[in-house]
């Protein structure tokens, strides 16, 4: 063996040599081969490298080799083709594929080139994507036919799950040896993967598809497996997934019976993707199992989809008619259900402030001072919007009346502090929109502290958003970004500590806030991509966010100066606003539309639209939306004559716009410091958590030199510590 090492040293001393061993799995039982390769690695011979290609995990002492930097592994995922690479491969093979089939191919094969190739052959023969005989043959010959009947049965049963943990597999199969089986399969093929982050196993789509087609042929009672899976997810309190499995197992009434109690179930316990399955249920089941159907009705109403909402109203009508007169249950339970139906009617009367207060008072009476089980403390009181008044302000001239209604009747006591602090947020927003900036900060900060005390994340978002817009309106743009950082820190810190679930609604709201801020600062690179591109279906919001995201999207389009597109976006925006008629949304839309008309058709067309917005805003004294778009509307404002509208109002709008534009231009003109390459390196290492001594060692300089770099950085970035320096550099796009 040592003679071999000497020969290799001699051969490679003057040139780089790579030894490639393909199909190593065929020799994996050879101890001599294993020992030789390990010895060669430990010898660390200059200019000599070994590449081992294998279908299984080699039995080397991997941990030792990797820790010494003598071994690197290339996993299956690294070798997988990207969608772009698959397209290049198809081009190379002179086969045209449209983008839809390309995406399907990628999603189905996960970039596994063997499957990509076989699917291409199938497509050439006219097979649709994922219906290719050759792929099934590949699975059959390379895996399925090599397995024992016991292992086949295990795989077939587990194929009902998209992913599964070891505990789930043991529960479903009642087989404590399942771990060894799964590990053996992972080691021997690429059809099964283990995710070390989520601790879940997953079949490759190709294998799962193959198995799903063969379950019935093996004599397996699939419904029994689905039923057990449903029980598992119910036990783990994953109600949404449990519903799906109970439904597929034909045990839906058993499931409804289990959750038919006032105990809190998240309003989103039925995932939107299961709506079609719920539609298929007999609606009259709602009188037999009222509590789950209260949640179902609520879930339907908040989708923002007209047809789905109608189904929710239908459920409420059936339940109200039945429980208003039935004597088949106790009076206490009957009143409880009627009280919860009044809570559901809040969503039917959505964004009619007066009616919502009326329904909540009735609910309070029927529940005898108790609290709702449908809307609870951590429900989304703001429906995912960053602006509370936006939801309820529907007509010109009613802003103060709307505010008074919220202050008087919100949040309803029946909701167990859900919305706590909303009356302060509404007041802060009112003074912000009407330009009374001196009153905003105190109210918004009070709202934050009040909301934090009851865990009201939606109110916290609204309050911080008001503070951010206030700072920008006052010309303190850097301070506005610091407030944004505080908001992001609150959510990141809170969710990392698992105070609440990682709520996708609030994550979307945070995206909208970020987009709004950076669109105002003309920094489109920091606006989330889905908002820039108008991929608004990506938003996870209740009532589709009442189209608030269009405010950011349209502004991004306006900055791009694509005026035809802006006009189209405004038409789409206005059409979508018709359902709930949020007046602030209409004002923003008119402002953007006036700019589009002005740029395309001339000043008269732009002026006509802007006058409509100005006159509507005057009824409530709304100023800020105009100021935030000053750069684009000032040329139009200059063309509006005193006899066109109230001259004092026009002048107040113009003055606000001039001041906002001046402040923004000053901020954008500020000299952006330039950093040397070495300063950027120091900043990057600092951000990685290295000490000054460690940075010096990494860059091969003295500690005093590092200190000098840091002094320069702090001076350039107006910072007194490393955290501020890093944050300021990121805000100025000097460092990502």
Residue with the bigger pLDDT between 501 and 177: it is 177
Residue with the bigger pLDDT between 606 and 111: it is 606
> Which of 55-64, 97-106, 129-138, 650-659 shows the lowest mean pLDDT across its residues?
129-138
pLDDT at 23: 80
Identify the residue whose tokens are 């023969």: 125
Beta strand 17-21 with 48-52 is parallel
For 116-138, the pLDDT digits (tens) are 776 777 777 676 665 555 677 76
Residue 492 has pLDDT above 90, yes or no: no
pLDDT at 497: 41
Strand partners, 21: 52
Beta strand 200-203 with 17-21 is unpaired
Residue 165 has pLDDT above 60, yes or no: yes
Residue with the bigger pLDDT between 544 and 199: it is 199
Alpha helices by DSSP H, 561-702? 563-577, 583-601, 603-618, 624-627, 630-637, 647-669, 677-687, 692-699
> Which of 68-77, 342-351, 446-455, 574-583 shows the lowest mean pLDDT across its residues?
68-77
Give percent above pLDDT 70 in the chain.
Answer: 92
> What is the pLDDT confidence band of residue 499, given thresholds at 50, 70 and 90?
very low
Q: Which residues, in sequence order, are CB contacts of 267 under 8 Å at separation 6+? A: 295, 298, 299, 302, 374, 375, 379
Nearest to 554 by CA among 476, 482, 628: 628
pLDDT at 642: 77
> What is the pLDDT confidence band of residue 622, given thresholds at 50, 70 and 90?
very high
> What is the pLDDT confidence band of residue 734, given thresholds at 50, 70 and 90?
confident
Residue 665 has pLDDT above 60, yes or no: yes
Mean pLDDT confidence for 193-219: 80
Residue 320 φ/ψ, nearest 5 degrees: -65, -45
Q: Which residues, in sequence order, are CB contacts of 446 under 8 Å at separation 6+? A: 421, 424
pLDDT at 229: 92
Mean pLDDT confidence for 725-731: 80
For 355-365, the pLDDT digits (tens) are 999 999 999 99
Residue 496 has pLDDT above 50, yes or no: no
Q: Which residues, in sequence order, are CB contacts of 273 under 8 Å at separation 6+? A: none
Residue 627 has pLDDT above 90, yes or no: yes
pLDDT at 221: 85
How many CB atoms are located within 10 Å of the residue 678 CB? Answer: 14
Mean pLDDT confidence for 56-78: 77
Interaxial angle between packed helices 722-731 and 677-687, expressed in degrees from 0 to 180 and rounded to the nearest 10: 120
- Asked if residues 419 and 411 have their Cβ atoms less than 8 Å apart, the reply is yes
Considering 175-179, 231-235, 632-636, the range whose residues carry the highest mean pLDDT is 632-636
Mean pLDDT confidence for 423-432: 98
pLDDT at 182: 82
DSSP 8-class letter at 95:
-
> What is the pLDDT confidence band of residue 60, given thresholds at 50, 70 and 90?
confident
For 285-313, the pLDDT digits (tens) are 999 999 989 988 888 888 777 888 888 89
Mean pLDDT confidence for 564-592: 94
For 502-530, the pLDDT digits (tens) are 677 888 899 999 999 999 999 888 899 98
> Which of 49-63, 155-169, 326-340 shows the lowest mean pLDDT across its residues?
49-63
Residue 98 has pLDDT above 90, yes or no: no
> What is the pLDDT confidence band of residue 724, given thresholds at 50, 70 and 90?
confident
The count of residues in the chain is: 736
Mean pLDDT confidence for 92-108: 81
pLDDT at 190: 57
For 393-413, the pLDDT digits (tens) are 999 999 999 999 999 999 888
What are the distances in angstroms from CA 657 to CA 71, 321, 606, 636, 650?
63, 55, 17, 12, 11
Peptide bond into 411 cis (omega under 30): yes
pLDDT at 501: 43
Radius of gyration of the chain (CA): 32
pLDDT at 309: 87
> What is the pLDDT confidence band of residue 500, given thresholds at 50, 70 and 90?
very low
Give percent above pLDDT 90 in the chain.
Answer: 38
Q: pLDDT averaged over the chain?
A: 86
Alpha helices by DSSP H, 280-374? 285-288, 290-301, 306-323, 331-348, 353-366
For 4-13, the pLDDT digits (tens) are 877 888 887 7
pLDDT at 70: 83
> What is the pLDDT confidence band of residue 270, given thresholds at 50, 70 and 90?
low
> What is the pLDDT confidence band of residue 498, given thresholds at 50, 70 and 90?
very low
Alpha helices by DSSP H, 521-548? 529-533
> What is the pLDDT confidence band of residue 533, given thresholds at 50, 70 and 90?
confident
Residue with the bigger pLDDT between 660 and 100: it is 660
């Amino acid at each position: 063996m040592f003679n071999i090492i000497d020969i290799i040293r001699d051969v490679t001393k003057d040139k780089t040599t790579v030894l490639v061993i393909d199909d190593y799995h065929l020799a994996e039982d050879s101890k001599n081969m294993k020992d030789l390769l390990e010895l060669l690695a430990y010898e660390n011979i200059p200019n000599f490298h070994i590449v081992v290609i294998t279908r299984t995990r080699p039995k080397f002492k991997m941990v030792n080799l990797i820790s010494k930097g003598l071994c690197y592994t290339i996993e299956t995922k690294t070798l997988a083709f990207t969608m772009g690479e698959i397209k290049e491969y198809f081009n190379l093979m002179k086969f045209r594929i449209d983008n839809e089939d390309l995406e399907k191919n990628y999603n189905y094969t996960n970039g596994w080139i063997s499957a990509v190739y076989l699917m291409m052959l199938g497509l050439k023969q006219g097979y649709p994507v994922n219906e290719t005989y050759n792929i099934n043959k590949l699975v059959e010959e390379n895996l399925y036919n090599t397995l024992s009947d016991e292992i086949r049965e295990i795989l077939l049963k587990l194929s009902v799950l998209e992913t599964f943990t070891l505990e789930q597999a043991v529960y479903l199969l009642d087989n404590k040896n399942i771990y060894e089986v799964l590990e053996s399969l992972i080691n021997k093929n690429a059809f099964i993967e283990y995710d070390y982050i989520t601790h879940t196993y997953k079949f490759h789509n190709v294998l799962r598809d193959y198995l799903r087609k063969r379950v019935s042929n093996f004599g397996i009672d699939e419904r029994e497996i689905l039923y057990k899976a449903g029980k598992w997810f119910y036990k783990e309190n994953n109600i949404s997934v449990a519903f799906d499995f109970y439904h597929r197992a034909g045990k839906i009434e058993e499931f409804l019976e289990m959750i038919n109690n006032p105990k809190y179930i998240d309003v989103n316990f039925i995932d939107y993707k299961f709506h079609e399955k719920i539609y298929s249920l007999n609606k009259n089941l709602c009188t037999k199992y009222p509590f789950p159907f209260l949640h179902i009705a609520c879930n339907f109403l908040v989708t923002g989809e007209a047809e789905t909402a109608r189904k929710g109203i239908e459920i409420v009508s059936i339940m109200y008619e039945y429980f208003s007169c039935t004597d088949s249950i106790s009076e206490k339970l009957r009143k409880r259900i009627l009280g919860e139906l009044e809570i559901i009617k809040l969503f039917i009367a959505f964004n009619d402030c007066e009616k919502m207060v009326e329904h909540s008072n009735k609910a309070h009476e029927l529940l005898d001072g108790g609290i709702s089980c449908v809307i609870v403390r951590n429900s989304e009181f703001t429906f995912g919007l960053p602006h509370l008044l936006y939801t309820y302000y529907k007509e010109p001239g009613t802003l103060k009346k709307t505010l008074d209604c919220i202050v008087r009747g919100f949040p309803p006591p029946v909701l167990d502090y859900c919305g706590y602090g909303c009356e302060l947020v509404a007041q802060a927003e009112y003074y912000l929109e009407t330009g009374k900036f001196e009153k905003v900060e105190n109210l918004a900060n009070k709202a934050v502290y009040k909301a934090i005390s009851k865990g009201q994340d939606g109110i916290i978002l609204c309050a911080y958003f008001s503070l951010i817009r206030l700072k920008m309106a006052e010309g303190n743009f850097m301070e506005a970004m610091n407030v944004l950082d505080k908001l992001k820190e609150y959510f990141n810190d809170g969710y990392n500590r698992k105070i609440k679930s990682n709520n996708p609604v609030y994550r979307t709201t945070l995206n909208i806030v970020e987009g709004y801020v950076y669109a105002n600062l003309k920094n489109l690179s920091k606006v989330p991509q889905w908002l820039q591109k108008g991929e608004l279906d990506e938003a996870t919001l209740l009532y589709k966010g009442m189209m608030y995201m269009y405010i950011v999207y349209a502004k991004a389009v306006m900055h791009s100066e694509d005026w035809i597109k802006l006009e189209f976006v405004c038409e789409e925006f206005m059409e979508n606003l018709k359902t709930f008629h949020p007046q602030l949304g209409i004002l923003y839309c008119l402002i953007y539309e006036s700019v589009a008309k002005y740029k395309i058709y001339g000043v008269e067309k732009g002026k006509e639209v802007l006058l409509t917005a100005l006159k509507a805003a005057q009824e409530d004294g709304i100023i800020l939306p105009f100021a935030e778009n000053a750069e684009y509307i000032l040329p139009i404002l200059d063309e509006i004559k005193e006899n066109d509208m109230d001259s004092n109002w026009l002048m107040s709008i113009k003055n606000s716009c001039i001041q906002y534009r001046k402040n923004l231009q000053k901020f954008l003109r500020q000299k952006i410091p330039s950093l040397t390459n070495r300063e950027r390196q120091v900043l990057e290492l600092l951000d990685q958590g290295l000490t000054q001594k460690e940075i010096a060692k990494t860059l091969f300089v003295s500690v005093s030199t590092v200190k000098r770099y840091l002094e320069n950085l702090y001076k350039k970035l107006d910072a007194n510590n490393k955290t501020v320096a890093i944050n300021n550099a990121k805000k100025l796009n000097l460092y990502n």
